[in-house]
Structures are given as structure tokens and as C-alpha cells.
Structure 1
Amino acid sequence: MSLEVLAVDDSRTMRDMIRFALEPAGFTVHTAEDGVHGTEVLDAIDPDVIITDINMPRMDGFGFIDAVRDRGQYKATPILVLTTEAAPEMKMRARNAGATGWIVKPFDPVKLVKALQMVAG
């Protein structure tokens, strides 16, 4: 089963790490460098799950989650926040915006794959 993932992160290294973690597990990974780019990529694909950072230029993760949830077809698409932030109020804000889960960087590739399989399966 091939799941399509959209990974939004302003760090090229992090986007590469996500790709290297997920592709061997059978995921198709699409990437974007910030929330604005992420909404553009969404126009061309239909991801099974979305991963987003919080701190990004142009449009941060909260704005991106709002933009995704504003599109009817993505109301139920799982969104995992992958960030260096660990503050409870940030997690609560993300959950209130519509995030499904929260993973703190640096991430364990095996746990990331399992988390995606759980929310997208």
C-alpha cells in the first residue's frame, strides 16, 4: 500500500530526512518549503497524510493547518506536526487548529513511519 505524504518544512535537510525515512517504507513523498508553497503543492496532489513544521517563513505551520482545513476535501486528512517546539501551549494551539498529532525533532524514522501508518491506515 503506497501512501502519499506532503511534508512541509523550510529546512532542506529535514525534508531530505523525511524522504529518506519514508520512501523505503513505501510512501510517496512530496515536499514544500513553507506553508504558501505547501498550499500550492496541495493543488496538484491528494495526500493521505500531511507533515508540517511550525516555524517557517511566509506562512507558519498554524497558518498552513488552517489553510488545509479550510479546503473541504482535507477536513479529515491527518496532519502531523514535526517541530523542535515542545511547549504544551503550542501543542494545544496546533490541536485546536486541526493537527492530528505532534512529533518533536529530531525524530526517530521508525516511529515516524509507524505514526504515519497509524493515522493514515
Structure 2
Amino acid sequence: MKSHTPVMEIKTRRQFRSELGSLEVPLIRPKPSVVLVYSRGCPPCEQLRPQIAALAAGPYRDRVAFFQLSYPILKLLQPNIEIQFVPALFFLDGHGGQTRLYGTDREKIKQGFDSLLFVTDKVFSEVFDSQAS
């Protein structure tokens, strides 16, 4: 049986347009969103993906929309977006604001989530740290 994940994988232009619209143009969204850009075979990406999924299934469920897409798909769909390296996270606040960060630094990721909405540090820490290996 296929497991359900609260993080939607974007694979097509139609999905991208329907769910995200654009990462180049500030858009008002129905709720804040987090977009993970990863690369296959990237150890930090593989470390971060289950941590983001745990946050999506836990304290941020129903408050934040979670998406992920591979770097090649992002470059195909949004060629003008500059990505320094992966993993890259886009925090879209729902009002057109966007924060971008790179890597797996826990404190920076927490700041990105805090820019979307407030969830106590203890909740964030328990979920995020429980996924760390």
C-alpha cells in the first residue's frame, strides 16, 4: 500500500501552476506554504525530507501547505529562479512575502517557519529533532 505524505510532490507544469503559481512573482495564497527543492542523491536533502514531512504531519498540518520538487523540475518550470545549492527551502507567507534559505541548519529553518506563523519552539524542536538521525 502506498503511504500518504502531507508533502505534495510537484512533477508537472499543471501541478506547479495550480498549486504554486510562481516562485518568481509575489502572490497572495490561501495559506502559507513551504517548498523544498531537492536533488536526488543529495545526502542533506535526504536528511531534510523526512524532517519536513514530520513537521507537515504534525504541528503545521492544516496551517501550512507543503510542497517539494526536484531541482531539474524547478529549473524547467521556473528557469529564472537562482538556486545557490540544495536543499533549498522557500517559505511563502500567503501575503506575497517570500523567504529562501539553503541547507539544513535547524535554527534557520525554525526562523523560516516562524516567519509563516507562530508555533512554540518546544513543538518545533520535538518534531524536528525526533527525525534527526
State the TM-score, normalizing by the size of structure 2.
0.37
Higher relative contact order structure (alpha carbons within 8 Å, sequence separation ≥ 6): 2
The structure with more radius of gyration: 2
